[in-house]
Amino acid sequence: MTAVGTDTGAGSGGDVPVRRVLDRGSAARDDHADEDTDAGPVVQPYRLHVDGGLRTVAGAWLGDSLLTVLRERLGITSVKDGCEQGRCGSCSVLLDGQLVAACATLAADAADARVTTLAGLPADGLAPAVRAAFLRHGAVQCGFCTPGFVVAVTDLLGRRPQADEDEIREALAGNICRCTGYGRIIAAVRAVQADITSAGAEP
Amino acid sequence: MTGTRAALHRPGTVGETVRILAEAGDAELLAGGTDLVPALRAGTRRPRAIVALRRVLELRARGACAQALTIGAGVTYAELADWACAPGLAATARAVGSAQIRNAGTVGGALGSANPRGDLLTFLTAAGTDVLTCSARRGPRTAPLDDFLAGAPGRGRGELVTAIRVPRPRGPQVFLKIGGRQAAYPALVSCALVVDRAGGRVSCAIGGVASTPLRASEAESFAAAEIDWTSPGRDEAAWASVARRFGALVADAARAAPAQLPEGPRDPAAYRWHAAGVLAGRALARCFAGGDQEHGAPAEGGARMPHLRSSGGDQGHGESAEGGARMPHLRSSGGDQGPGESTEGRGR
Ligand SMILES: Cc1cc2nc3c(=O)[nH]c(=O)nc-3n(C[C@H](O)[C@H](O)[C@H](O)COP(=O)(O)OP(=O)(O)OC[C@H]3O[C@@H](n4cnc5c(N)ncnc54)[C@H](O)[C@@H]3O)c2cc1C
Ligand code: FES
Ligand code: FES
């Protein structure tokens, strides 16, 4: 099984060596192989538009989630693997601009969609301010949840720059943080909003 | 790479989809993937082929005519959540999961999974819904939701849900649920109340008690008889007692329902029956008295981060939509997000 994905990579996290970062779930895969010796559920190679680059995914399993492919085949490790059940938000990415859980998205079905991870959030957009605010306000402790939060917060503030605290909390309810208690995260979001307002700039 | 028999099909039309389904035999449909993809990872489902619906744009349409709303199977919860024509559906959609789940999860996936705790199924049962399906063998068909769900376990693969048809709201509609953290877990018990002012009818459905959502017909007739449909002004104390009685009848219906779901340590059957009654009573009070007399002022909604809850534990959650709203007046508030509601604790 080759883990592939080096055809472009420029500016799309492709500088991370491609390797198997995690091999969780391999037991399930071996079961597949036993059951299905000469016809493993391998799909045809396909391409993914990730963070502005076109990446080829070959030798992937039919059932691979976008999380698995991004991390284990394309080496994009900012997309965290927390629960693989759509519950923790640590794998949050944008799929054609919509916030989704990568672990609940079939990778091969994302082939003609645009996938945006933390690294692909536009540098001239809100993401740098969100990242800076997270650091400034102590919204990062262990950091495991942070990439997912930054993607979710950037998405929220892009759509709803004036969101009040209730709306912010509701929008971020799918992202779990086990360290900060959320107060620091909310403070960071509020700070970004305050900056937007005082700059008088529309995001 | 030997044996690439396993395949992902990505058809572009309904016709192509049902043809592939018929040919592929053991194929699983894929919509948003929120149920299926985690199941694939966990190894609980192992289809040889997947037929993905993302490209079937005709499934993403929704429309309204004078009598009914038609919603394509590919419409997501997020799309329903801001649909002003359907305040009850919108409120139900907002009560589902997290932003990530609502952006991906679809109506067709909810019907395909037919989860007895699915929020949408509870609402659609109360609203009286038809399910439109299509298969290569039988062509397009329409069946009431009950029949569709009754056939669900043995439903042959090869049948595609194309859309649902729901009557237009003709009165207040409320959806309430209780359970763990909304963003992560399905509700334990949910309740939908749909009032048809023109027809003088109240419909109440309960999810999470039996293998499919149940209707509480005795409670429904009681409420319909109690309501003065011509001049519904009534004092709040009187409403509180009607709501209490209504809730008790719904709890009875829950207790009597066949095919009860297995009990868990956190949801013994008696708790679910009780919760069904409490939610139903509250829903009725919301619809008619504009408040929740028994339980004090509605508290904040449930889709929050967990630390907000002073209890720190399980939380109730729910939403109401007063589509065409409180009796006697107000059509205008339809679609507004009603305040969520906290339910009482787990103690019995
Ligand atoms: C973390 C999390 C939280 C959740 N919270 C809630 C909640 O609060 N309330 C709630 O009700 N649900 C909840 N869900 C469940 C889930 O989001 C819904 O059931 C959703 O509607 C499934 O839709 P999907 O498009 O993602 O389906 P998929 O996962 O793509 O498919 C689900 C099933 O339906 C079949 N299917 C899909 N489309 C069709 C079609 N057109 N015709 C026939 N069959 C079809 C598939 O073959 C599959 O078996 C939650 C899920 C997760 C992961
Ligand atoms: S890993 Fe995807 S939501 Fe937890
Ligand atoms: S900072 Fe550790 S999980 Fe959020």
Nearest to B101 by CA among A197, A91, A100: A100
B133 CB contacts (<8 Å, ≥6 apart)?
A: B140, B141, B142, B143, B148, B159, B160, B161, B162
> Would you say B111 and B161 are in contact if contact means Cβ atoms under 8 Å apart?
yes
How many domains are there within chain A? 2
Say which residue, B238 or B103, is predicted with more confidence.
B103
The mean-pLDDT minimum among A171-185, B110-124, B285-299 falls in B285-299
Q: How far is CA B172 from the centre of its chain?
A: 16
- Domains of chain B with CATH codes: 7-52 (3.30.43.10), 59-167 (3.30.465.10), 173-324 (3.30.390.50)
My answer on whether A23 and A116 are in the same domain is yes
Q: What is the DSSP letter of A43?
A: P
Query: What phi-psi label fits residue B236: left (phi over 0), alpha (psi between -120 and 50 degrees) or beta?
Result: alpha
The pLDDT tens digits of the residues spanning B29-40 come to 999 999 999 999
From A56-65, B80-89, B308-317, the region with the lowest mean pLDDT: B308-317
pLDDT over 80 (residue B284): yes
Question: Strands B27-30 and B49-52: what pairing?
Answer: parallel
The answer as to whether A157 is a domain residue is yes
Residue A62: CATH number of its domain? 3.10.20.30
Same domain, A53 and A92: yes
Tell me, using a 6 A CB cutoff, whether residue B32 lines ligand 1.
Answer: yes
B40-52 pLDDT, tens per residue?
998 888 888 999 9
What is residue B106's DSSP assignment? B
pLDDT reading at A170 higher than 70: yes
Instruction: Give the residue carrying structure tokens 């039919």.
Output: A62
Task: Evaluate if residue B147 carries a pLDDT over 90.
Answer: yes
Domain annotation covers residue A47: yes
Interface of B with A in 224-283 (CB under 8 A): none
Question: Between these two residues, A5 and A141, which has the higher pLDDT value?
Answer: A141
Final residue belonging to a domain, choices A91, A120, A149: A120
Question: ipTM score of the complex?
Answer: 0.82
pLDDT digits (tens, 9 = 90+) for B74-99: 999 999 998 999 999 999 999 999 99
Whether A176 lines ligand 3, by a CB cut-off of 6 Å, is no
The pair of structure tokens assigned to B85 is 């024509």
Shortest distance, CA A135 to any CA of chain B (angstroms): 21
pLDDT, one tens digit per residue, over B211-261 is 999 999 999 999 999 988 876 566 778 888 999 999 999 999 999 999 999
Domain around A17: 13-120
Assess whether the C-beta atom of A89 lies below 6 angstroms from ligand 2. yes
Record: contact B48-A40, CB cut-off 8 A: no
The verdict on residue A35 lying in a domain is: yes
What whole-number distance in Å separates Cα of residue B236 and Cα of residue A142?
52
Tokens read off for A136: 């400034």
* Cβ under 8 Å to A: B residues 4-23: 4-8, 10
**Do A135 and A38 fall within a single domain?**
no
More confident residue, B316 or A94: A94
* pLDDT bucket at B146, cuts 50 / 70 / 90: very high
Whether B298 has a pLDDT exceeding 80, the answer reads no
Indicate whether A114 and A149 sit together in one domain. Answer: no
B201-207/B214-215 β-pairing: antiparallel
Q: Which residue matches tokens 């948003």?
A: B32
- Residue A4, in any domain of the structure: no
More confident site: A53 or B287: A53
Phi/psi of residue A114, nearest 5 degrees:
-95, 125
For B138, other C-beta atoms within 10 Å of its C-beta total: 12
Backbone angles phi, psi at A165, to 5 degrees: -65, -40
Reading phi first (left if > 0) and then psi (alpha if -120 to 50, else beta), residue B33 is in left
In whole angstroms, give the CA distance from residue A82 to residue A24: 12
Higher pLDDT, A161 or B336: A161
